[in-house]
Amino acid sequence: MAASFHPPQRTLMGPGPSDVNPRILEAMSRPTIGHLDPAFIGLMDDVKAKLQYVFKTNNTLTLPISAPGSAGMEACFVNLLSCGDTAIVCQNGVFGGRMKENIERCGAKAVMVEDEWGTPVSIDKVAEAIANHPEAVALCFVHAETSTGVRSDAATLCEMAREAGMLSIVDTVTGLAGIDVSVDEWGADAVYSGTQKCLSCVPGLSPVTFSPKAVEHIQNRQQKVQSWFLDMNLVMGYWGGEGKRAYHHTAPINALYALHEALCIVEEEGLEASWARHALHHRALVAGLEAMGLSMQVAAEYRLPQLNAVNIPEGADDAAVRAALLNDYSLEIGAGLGSLAGKVWRIGLMGHAANHKNVLLCLHALESVLRAQGVAVQSGAIDAANGVYHTE
């Protein structure tokens, strides 16, 4: 006999997805209408305008790709790179490696600039790569590296690309709405994100934005875009222009209701207030973790407030701790990836999940589980976190 699926109630404090605001879940339950219905076209236009707000851009080609953040990444690469091109890729974590994969699948060559995981992209190494490869079409980097919790200097890197006559392709999947993302101020050419991080929306959509320079590059391509579904020349027939839209695909209508509601919530709070909230709860969490005797993987000046890489203390069983948090407290935190696997936990404070209650729950649960497993931890985590809240 068929049975409906009823998921357990979790507190999501991993690298994503984040807790979804109940307003967004309610929005998804509204009646489905046609993807060419005039009312839905109006919603699409408002989603575009609200995405321009959170990206801080006037780019006309700003829209949500009808697929997760990985598709937003692929959309940027397949539209801007052609077979035989060269692109410079900065890798200081997992997602720089995924950029390389995309470039090579376009038939292009990836020139790698590699930095130690847990550190930002080296400006000096990038300058050297640009000098050695003037033929490169694009400079590609991760602004907010989800695998390590590191923020790199997007403004400087975009400026370097622009001065070298290259396009900039920027991953800010974990950055958008959690820290300053200023596309026009940076002069970034192609930027992609995801809905399931600091927007606190359901997974499955990828906001992207392309500069006029990038649009011109796409329109002047000599080769067809490698992906039909992600070809911006075709997608814009549905998402762009005035009046009648050309059918391209059936948009995920209810997921777009959810994104619209998520963007309304960001607008109501205000971008700067959202960034400040993420920063406050990050400071409280770090104060509590350090009071417990734990340490952070990333230097303070480069940390993402919304993604905290915590060094696993000696004697702690990585998987057993995470399992106990999930089973005993319904609390999810993330494991390390790549070279940091088994060395760090990734604790997310994203969107709706970045709040006072979650910080205190995480500190209490983690301290209790570590003590139960015989790991020596100090007392005072809750007091240290509350000290931040009471003084700020």
What are the tens digits of pLDDT across the range 54-111?
999 999 999 999 999 999 999 999 999 999 999 999 999 999 999 999 999 999 999 9
In the predicted structure, residue 260 carries a pLDDT above the cut 80: yes
Q: What is the pLDDT of residue 240?
A: 81
In the predicted structure, residue 218 carries a pLDDT above the cut 90: yes
Please give the class, per CATH, of domain 271-391.
alpha beta
Mean residue pLDDT of the chain comes to 96
Are the CB atoms for 342 and 391 separated by under 8 Å?
no
Q: Where in the chain is the domain with CATH 3.40.640.10?
A: 22-267
How would you write 258-282 as a 3-class SS string?
Answer: HHHHHHHHHHHHCHHHHHHHHHHHH
In the predicted structure, residue 242 carries a pLDDT above the cut 70: no
Residue 260 contacts by C-beta under 8 Å, 6 or more apart in sequence? 27, 43, 46, 47, 50
| 243 confidence band (pLDDT: 50, 70, 90) | low
CATH topology of domain 22-267: Aspartate Aminotransferase; domain 2 (3.40.640)
Are the CB atoms for 106 and 82 separated by under 8 Å?
yes
Q: Please, which residues bridge with residue 347 across strands?
A: 308
Extract the tokens encoding 174.
Answer: 């974990």
What are the tens digits of pLDDT across the range 155-195?
999 999 999 999 999 999 999 999 999 999 999 999 999 99
Q: What is the pLDDT of residue 1?
A: 76
**CA–CA gap between residue 9 and residue 368 (Å, rounded):** 20
Q: What is the pLDDT of residue 58?
A: 98
**CA–CA gap between residue 45 and residue 288 (Å, rounded):** 43
What are the tens digits of pLDDT across the range 347-378?
999 999 999 999 999 999 999 999 999 999 99
What are the tens digits of pLDDT across the range 271-284?
999 999 999 999 99
Which DSSP string do the residues of 329-378 spell out, in sequence order? H-EE-EEP-GGGTTTEEEEE--GGG-SHHHHHHHHHHHHHHHHHTT----
pTM over 0.85: yes
* For range 5-24, the mean pLDDT: 96
Q: What is the pLDDT of residue 112?
A: 98
* For range 121-127, the mean pLDDT: 98
Q: What is the pLDDT of residue 375?
A: 96
Q: Where in the chain is the domain with CATH 3.90.1150.10?
A: 271-391
CA-based end-to-end distance of the chain:
55
In the predicted structure, residue 121 carries a pLDDT above the cut 90: yes
In the predicted structure, residue 244 carries a pLDDT above the cut 80: no
Which DSSP string do the residues of 12-79 spell out, in sequence order? E-SSSSPPPPHHHHHHHTSPP--TT-HHHHHHHHHHHHHHHHHHT---SEEEEESS-HHHHHHHHHHH
In the predicted structure, residue 206 carries a pLDDT above the cut 80: yes
Q: What is the pLDDT of residue 205?
A: 98
Identity of the residue numbered 255: A
| 293 confidence band (pLDDT: 50, 70, 90) | very high
